[in-house]
Structure formats: C-alpha cells, structure tokens
Structure 1
Amino acid sequence: MQSSTVSTPEPTLAQPAPVRRLLSLDALRGFDMFWIIGGEEIFHVLAKTTGWAWAIFMADQFTHVDWNGFRPYDCIFPLFLFLAGVSTPYSLGSRLDRGDDRGAMVRKIITRGLVLVLLGILYNNGLFTKPLAEMRFPSVLARIGLGGMFAQLIYVYVRNERARYGIFAGILLVYWALLMLVPVPGFGAGNLTMEGSLVGYVDRLVMPGRLYKVVHDPEGLLSTLPAIATGLLGVFAGTVLRHKNVSDSQKLQRLALAGVVCVVVGWIWNIVLPVNKNLWTSSFVLVAGGWSLLALSLFYWIIDIMNWRRWTFFFVVIGMNSILIYLAGEVIDFEHTAHFLFGGMLSFFSDPIRSVGAVVAFLAVKWAFLYFLYKKNVFLRV
C-alpha cells in the first residue's frame, strides 16, 4: 500500500488502474461507495423522525435481509466486487495483448489481494489492540481481495472465454453441491440455517479468533468460493465493454440482457437454493450480479452513450479514493468534525431537519476530504 501523487488521477478499487477508464464505471463505483460511507442514513433518519410511509419503505430497503431473501442494500457489497471485476479486462487485457511478463502481473495480483486481507484485519481489530482469541479475521476487504484476486488469476491464465464461463458455472454448481450434499455433524446435509450450514461449520472449524455472528461469519472462508464467481461476472461485463468491434448499443443490449437473465435464473434457482447473502449462495450470486449488470447498463447508457456527464463528478470523487474513505472512518472522526462545523447552525431548526442535516453534514465533510485529496492528486493505491 502506498500514497502516491501523480499528474493524472486514476481511480482505484482493489485492482490496478486500467489503461482506459469508462466514466460510467468510475461513477457507479462512487455511487455504490456513497451508500457504504453512510448515504443510507438519510432514509433511516427521515423514517425515524417523520414517520412518513415512503421514508419507512426506503429505510427498509436500505437494510439487510435477516437470512433468506434480497433487498437493494444486499447488492451494495457484491456490486463493489463486481466492479473490481469489470476493471480487470482494462487493467490487464492490454498488458496481456502486448505480451507483458505474466509472472510479474500475477505477483502484483497476489500481493494486492493479500494486502487487502491484511487491511481488513486491521480495519476490524486495530493494531495490537485485541488478543488473538477476540480478533475477527474475515472482512469485507478480505472478501474483495480474495474474490478479486482469484477472478483476475483466472482471467490471466484462462484466455479462452468459453472456458471462463465454464469455470463460472462450475463454481456455482460445485458450491451448491457442497451446501446440499456435505453433512455437518449434528445437522446433516442440506441444512442452510446459520448454525447448521456447511459454511458456518467450516468457519468454526478452521477460522481463528471470533466470528461476526458467533457461529457464522458472512465473510467467512468457504463462501469466498462463490464470491470469485461474482468477480468473474464483472470480468465478463468488462470484456464486453472493452470489445472494439461491437457498437455501444450492442454492448448495452448484451449487458442488459445478461442482467435480466441472471436475475430470472437466480430467482428460479431460489426455489431449491435460497437467495442468501450471508451464505453467498449461488442463487444470490446471480440475483446480485444481475442487478449489478443492470446498474452498469443504466450508467453506461446515461454517461457513455447519452453523454450526460456533469452530475457524475460528485460520485467520481468518492470512487477515486474508495479504499481510503472506507478505512478513514476508523481513524478520522468525521462526525465530530461535522458537528463542530454545522452543529450550531442546525440547532435552530426542528428535530427532523436537524437530524437529516446532521447526516448531510457528515457526508459533506467526508466528500470535502475526498475532494481535497482529488485536487491534490493524492490517491491511496493498493
């Protein structure tokens, strides 16, 4: 990991900066990151302070399903990983086409993945602040690092596109078979509860430290396998977008059609294998991946085809330092800064306005911090 100063900013998110960027990709990454850094709190505060039906509905959509099922907020994390996959054909494809040293690329890919695992451990536990038994080793960053790393390695070593699709399907089918056929002591095979699933059993058996939900970790070891498929789905989308002999309208049609097909097949699969983010089930990969494809299609159409770009700057600034702002919340008290700058002014307003204003001020301080770095051309590179 290093902090770099360059003449031309290059957005990064758990992968090397590509040679040619799509503004739609950068904007969608920033849009996704906006909700991760606290944007959803606007709806939660509105629901709590006003009781408005639409605010309550939106706040509910920005919560995770307890176990089986799917809400829009369940797509935020897989979209993050999906977009890392979309960048891969841009960042690695041209180098492979030029015949660059594959070994050097692989070393960088593996190093990047392992650094994200270490950053995830630091994010969860701080530096030497907890005994080993109380540390949580799985993390969001580790899921992105490992899922993206293996997806990129498949892209580098498997040059035949049909073979990549076969690996994608194989991962989903093998994971389904593992969940349904491998017995768990005391629960048998095919048990998809938190306590009885093979995912939780493997976590309890091999993971050191503590698990996020005591008997299960949503970013645990075994469920990293289908996360690779999420990254690969992004690789497939990036391959379509990078294709030079296909028109923009054809690219849009292919992405949108693939998104619809994934969502439909995922919900059909849900009949026998529930859509479940905690287990990252194969059906969840398709549903979340399908919506990710549709989101990318929408942004690609608006930004890169229709050329409506002015509104994207707000989100691009966020996306260009996505890893940094994710980590910064653990070491910088943005809430205190927002209260110091805006708390006095907000005290003159009613409770709903004051509460929503506090969230907006919090987000504004974060964005101003990122904008300062953007203007200075300073970006955290992983």
Structure 2
Amino acid sequence: MRQHLNRILAQVPRGRLMSVDLLRGIAIAAMVLVNNPGSWSFVYAPMAHAQWHGWTPTDVIFPLFLFVVGVSMVLSTGKKGSFPVVGWAQWSRALKLFALGLFLAIFFYNFRDSSYNWIEDRLEGIRWMGVLQRIALVYILCCYLVRWLPTKGLLVAAVLCSVVPWALMLIVPYESASGEIFQGQLAFGNHFAAWLDQILLGSAHVYHRDAQPFAFDPEGVLTTFSAASTCLLGVLATLAWKSADSDREAQLVLCRNWLVAGTLMVLVGQLLHPVVPINKVLWSPSFVLVTAGVSMLLMAGLYYLVDIRERRRALAPLLVFGVNAIALFMLAGVVGRILIMIPVGDGTLKGWLFGTVFQPIFGSYGGSLAFAISCLVVFYWVMWQMYRRQIIWKV
C-alpha cells in the first residue's frame, strides 16, 4: 500500500495545488457513491437528498463540484496570469460536457420489454438538462463573467445570480393549464422555476414528468443561474489565493480567512432557513451559502493539511479520482445503466447481484451501501490504470 501511495504522489506535477485535485476527488467519489446504491429502497438518510426543504451531506456534493469548477478556472491561469478571451476552447469544453450529458440521457434500453420503443422513450422524450448539462452551462456563463468583471463585480454577480432567480420565484405570478393563478409558491411541482421548465423544456423532457401541477427538472433553467453563484464563489475564494504571497505566514492567513468565511456562510445560511428555505432543487440563496460555506471549509482544511503541512500520503488515492473526474462520472453512469439493462430472470443484473450477494451478507441497508462501495473500488482500479499511464481525459 505504501508503495502504491508513493507511486501516486510521484506523478503529481511540482507547483500544483494538490488540495484542489483532492477536493475534486472527494466531490466526484461521493457523487458516484450516492448514485450507485444496491437498491434505491434501502439508502441511509445521509446518502439521500433531502425530500424538499433542508439539506443532507449528499446535497452538498454537486455544489462542491461546481465550487471546484470555479477554483479550477482561476488556477488554470497561473499565479499571475489573466483570464483569457472566451473563444472556441471554452465553448468546445462546454459543448462536449453538454453532449456527454445528453449521451447518458439516451444510453438505456429495456431488453426485458419486447414492446419497448427506444426512439419514443429516449430520443423523443430526451431529458435536456442534467448534471453535466448544468456544469456546461454554469462553466460557460462564468467564463464570460470572470473575463468581463473585476473582483468586486464578480461578488455582485454572485449575489445577483442567486437573489434574482429567488426574487422571480417569489413575485412573478404564473398560471396552470386549468387557469389557476399562483404566486410565491415553493412546493414540489408548484413553483415559478417549475412552470418555466414546463414552458421552455416541455413536460416530456424533464426529470419529474408526473409532478403536479407542473413537470420540472431538478437541474432546470432558472436555477442554473443560481448554481452559477456557487461557481463564482469558488472563483472568488481562489482569487484570494492568487493575490496572496507565497510564504508560509501568508498561506496560514489565507487558510484562516477561508475558515472564517466558510463558517460565517454556513451560519448565515442556516439562520436564513426559516425565511429562505434551504432547498437544493430551488438552489435557494440559503442553500448557496450553506453549501459554498461547507466547500470553503473543506478547501481550507485540505489546503492546510496537504499544501501547507504536506501531509499527503493518506489522501493520495483521491487524486486518482480528482484528475479524471469526468471520466469517472461517465464510467459510473454507463456501468450503472448497463447493470439495469442486462436481464437476469425476472429482474436485472443489478437486482440479482444485490439480492443474492450483498443483501444476504450485509442486510438491506448495509448491502446497498456495500454494493455502492464495491462499484467505487472497481472504478478506482480503472481510474488507477489511467492515472499510472498518465491518461487524463480532458473535456
């Protein structure tokens, strides 16, 4: 094991902020873990999303990844570089991410149903939005904002991206198909963002197709602007690193500032909850504060431990995930779908594995978690083969 960890660390380029790759590794590994339980009927509460208002550790994962997207945008320019003019390189990355998200949306076939119509189900009813599509849209929007705006302007933009969509949800009236007028509703299937999704995306092209009175997508149109505020907060946090000196004392001050800022954001977001509910689907301002605060606390902790104290060996495996995050996400998505596509008896290969291997040994909830961990271990082996050969899948 020690030799394995040393081989991982030996391939880290000098001068690279290892804490950022680790943070990305935590985000993507956690995302894969919660997305691949043995059975969705048996998931421990912390590994499931909050049913509506409120938050769980799982609700922090996607915002953490978007926060790291903002961090990486700054780091890609170097310590003294400026943000480039937005051109084909940025648009190509965004379009590839969006296309990969659409690929996952159509990558399914129900072999157990002889009457299954793939074109009708997957192509005509394609889900336009999703995790990768949201990352793509947030990324390209933030590329323009960081190019156009100074630091204070980015702070204002982060606030507006969060507050304006929330204000629209509170004050803009909207009408159901039956003619009923609503305003300021924040219920599942009944909020302004849901109405907008049904109008812009269509009820056949969203995740919650049967929601009433409005079908909507948890990665919908309006709340994507709110998600951009999370990315911008990652940009702002890293701009502080960029402007700080490189000596140890300055690094400690920066780390302390991140800790203070992260703690304040979590506290303020939690205090706002009775008035502005913490809600991932609505990506509310309080949700932005809490999740960005947690992200900043994690970044401060990793920065202190790994980049200042240089205690790296124990966390080294996360690098294997962090440097190939999109490859891991795609691998997990494809394998996860294949497992439910392959028929075994009256069920699927995934159901058979869970019911005959994991559930009898570990129980229902333990077996579901053990299945997810086993998938992560297998994926780690694949990612390690890519890492040791220096194969980095850059989108």
TM-score, normalised via structure 1 length: 0.81
Partner of 1:130: 119
2:289 to 286, 289, 293: 286
Q: Structure 1 residues 359, 226: closer, same or farther in 2, change over 3 A? A: closer
State whether structure 2 residue 227 is matched by structure 1 residue 227.
yes
1:312 CA drift (Å): 2.0
1:227 and 1:350 mapped to 2: Cα distance? 41
Structure 1, 243-252 or 348-357: larger mean CA deviation? 348-357
Structure 1 residue 329: deviation in Å? 2.6
8 Å contact from structure 2 (residues 34, 47) kept in 1? no
Residue 130 of structure 1 deviates from its aligned partner by: 3.3
| Per-residue CA distance 1:84-113 (angstroms, 9 max, x = gap) | 10111111356854xx8x44x433222212
Alpha carbons of structure 1 residues 376 and 285: separation in structure 2 relative to 1, 3 Å:
same
The alpha-carbon distance between structure 1 residues 82 and 284, as it changes in their structure 2 partners (threshold 3 A), is same
Give the gaps of 5 or more residues in structure 1: 1-7, 12-18, 49-55
Q: Does structure 1 residue 351 correspond to structure 2 residue 361?
A: yes
Secondary structure at 1:379 match in 2:
coil
**Aligned positions of 1:73-112 closer than 5 A:** 73-92=58-77, 96-97=81-82, 102-103=84-85, 105-112=86-93
Equivalent in the alignment of 1:210: 205
Deviates more, 1:105-114 or 1:225-234: 105-114
> Any conservation in 1 of the 2:162–2:227 contact (CA below 8 Å)?
no
| More deviation, 197-206/350-359 | 350-359
User: What secondary structure sits across from 2:376 in the alignment?
Assistant: helix
Runs of 4+ in 1 over 6 A off after TM superposition: 8-11, 39-42, 333-336, 346-350
Q: What's the counterpart of residue 301 of structure 1?
A: 304
Q: Deviations over 1:10-44 (max 9, x none)?
A: 89xxxxxxx953111111111221121226878x8
1:266 and 2:251 are equivalent in the alignment: no
Counterpart code for 1:169 = V
Where in structure 2 are the equivalents of 1:1-382 lying within 5 Å? 21-38=16-33, 59-92=44-77, 96-97=81-82, 102-103=84-85, 105-126=86-107, 129-131=118-120, 132-158=123-149, 160-185=150-175, 186-208=180-202, 209-214=204-209, 215-245=215-245, 247-332=250-335, 351-352=361-362, 355=367, 358-382=371-395
CA distance in 2, matches of 1:93, 1:153: 18
Gaps of at least 5 residues in structure 2 are: 1-9, 110-117, 210-214, 341-348
Q: Which amino acid aligns with 1:175?
A: P
Q: State the shift of 1:80 in Å.
A: 0.6
CA displacement, residues 38-59 of structure 1 (integer Å, 9 cap, x when unaligned): 26878x89x96xxxxxxx9xx2
Please identify, of 268-277 and 228-237, the stretch whose mean Cα deviation from structure 2 is larger. 268-277
Change (3 A) 1:274 1:314: same
* 1:359-379 Cα shifts (integer Å, max 9, x gaps): 443322111111011111112
* Identical amino acids, percent of aligned pairs: 27
8 Å CA contact retained: 2:36, 2:375: no
Query: Aligned equivalents of 1:205 and 1:20: distance in 2?
Result: 48
Partners of 1:172 and 1:347 lie apart in 2 by 46
What is the root-mean-square deviation of aligned Cα atoms in Å?
3.1
Structure 1 residues 193 and 187, CA, compared in 2 at 3 Å: closer, same or farther?
A: farther
Alpha-carbon distance, 1:268 to partner:
2.7
1:3 match: none
